Amino acid sequence: MNWRLLITEPCDGATNMAIDETLWRGRHAGTSPPTVRFFAWDPPTVSIGYGQPLDRHVDVDACRRFGVGLVRRPTGGSAIYHDGPERELTYCVTATADDLGVGADLLETYRWIARALVRGINALGANAEMVPTGRGLGPDPAFCFARTGAFEIEVGGRKLVGSAQRRLGTSFLQHGAVLLGADAARLRALFPTTRDPLATLTTLEAALGSRPTFDAVADALARAFEDEHGLTLEPGGLTADESARVETLVAERYGRETFLAAPAHP
């Protein structure tokens, strides 16, 4: 089966997360093809993990002051600040273990995706590597880039890509942030309890000496998924049924303050 390549226009956090969940549940039901999606955020948004409390570790007042959105992800992990397309590309993979030709183990799917991400990032000229085992600062940091999980991606010992996954049977949703650049002052304001949010992260701008464009990174990653795994990515959009499901999820889940405060079981 050919895979779909979906590159969407920047949109708000609720819509982005509703699209990701729609693609995942559609793949689980067999109504959507395996999909690689690249997207950005408008306005910039802090996403928090599915089970993460919205507490003092994310400064909600600073979010309002900067015009930064807040959304709860369908995946776990810690908070991420998603800047606009000038500073971040977010990827999403929705598939089944059979689509990948690997076992159902979570780490096997992480590794499969990381191989393509590393290949694409290094095609841009970075010297990225896949980290086989995780290491963190403290047991559960509130800021995603303060720790490294298994098969995540670093340059020079600093984290470049922050990823999270959620599974339903053998189907999964994995998405993550590829940092093109960073707004240091804003990161410090949004995550006031993280001693130095920039201490453990890096960006493609730092790795390459200049900041690549969103489109250049998307092109490199798409080619890498094809070359690394022998895929054919066919550009496409959401179907009418998928678009309707996105609207429902925004209205009933991701756009609701009650879901942001404490998630209901989907």
User: Hey, which residues are catalytic here?
Assistant: 144
Q: Which residue carries 């599915």 as its tokens? A: 50
- Give the separation between CA 148 and CA 132, rounded to whole angstroms: 10
In degrees, rounded to 5, the angle at the alpha carbon of residue 77 between the alpha carbons of residues 79 and 54 is 45
Name the nearest CA neighbour of 163 among 126, 225, 121, 117. 117
Phi-psi region of 104 (alpha: psi -120 to 50; beta: other; left: phi over 0): alpha
Compute how many other C-beta atoms are within 10 angstroms of the C-beta atom of residue 204: 27
What the block records as the tokens of 79 is 């908070």
Helix H or strand E encompassing 249? helix 240-249
Residue type, 47: S
Compute how many other C-beta atoms are within 10 angstroms of the C-beta atom of residue 48: 24
The residues facing 7 across adjacent strands are 38
